[in-house]
Amino acid sequence: MSEVPATGDATSERSAMLVRVFASEDGFRSFYERALPRIYGYLVHRCDGDASVAEELTQQTFIEAVRQRHSFDGRADPLTWLTAIARHKLADHYRRRGSDERRRLRLVVKAIAADDQGRAWRQIDEREAIVRALGSLPTLQRAVLVLHYGDGLSVREISRELRKSESSVESLMTRAREGFRRSYGEPSDV
């Protein structure tokens, strides 16, 4: 499956080919076996090497491809189409993780505020945990760096993927770059 310029005949052929793939179990199995390593490899490198997350997102990608198979119009190679689905699943994953991180941070802040016993050692432990959590790059900041530098997406494309305004993505990008430089001592442009 190589990228073919989108001419009318090539577009129709790619579309018909994918219909055939999904029409038979053997055709789909063959497509799956060829596409799986590429999709998994794409995802695992963007999930901080977390194999279980990459496996889950890969599974979700193929499930979504089956659901959306009728939307494939043949303008792109089927593997390119599948990779775009994987990118959407990755963006969804980062959005969920960002929400989870914010929720956990709110709980920690509430726990600190509710701590009326005033135990100094407990407050120090909680502060250290907060500093460690804040010291690592937040998920959405990681997401914008991965999507921009890893996938070559523009700010506009990232804003669509993450369902955020362009100015919000630019702000995330700025903070992500600064955090990256601070954490890893990278003085060069990221």
| In a shared domain, residues 179 and 109 | yes
Nearest to 58, CA basis, from 25, 83, 21 = 83
Domain containing 145 equals 91-184
Place of tokens 């997350």: 53
Q: Which residue has the higher pLDDT, 134 or 128?
A: 128
The set of residues, in sequence order, having a beta carbon less than 8 Å from that of 8 and lying 6+ positions away, is none
Sequence length of the chain is: 190
Q: Say whether both 125 and 59 belong to one domain.
A: no
How many domains, in total, are found in the chain? 2
H-assigned helices in 1-50: 8-23, 25-44
47: helix, strand or coil = coil
Average pLDDT over residues 101-117: 65
* Residues 83, 106 within the same domain: no
Pair 104, 178 in one domain: yes
Domain with residue 79: its CATH number is 1.10.1740.10
- The answer on pLDDT for 105 being more than 90 is no
DSSP helix/strand/coil, 160: helix
Among 32, 61, 88, give the residue marking a domain's end: 88
State the pTM of this model: 0.57
52 lies in the same domain as 132: no
Which stretch of DSSP H or E encloses residue 87? helix 78-114
Domain-terminating residue out of 71, 88, 105? 88
Mean pLDDT value across the chain: 78
Q: Rounded mean pLDDT of 147-161?
A: 88
Provide the token pair at 67: 């659901």
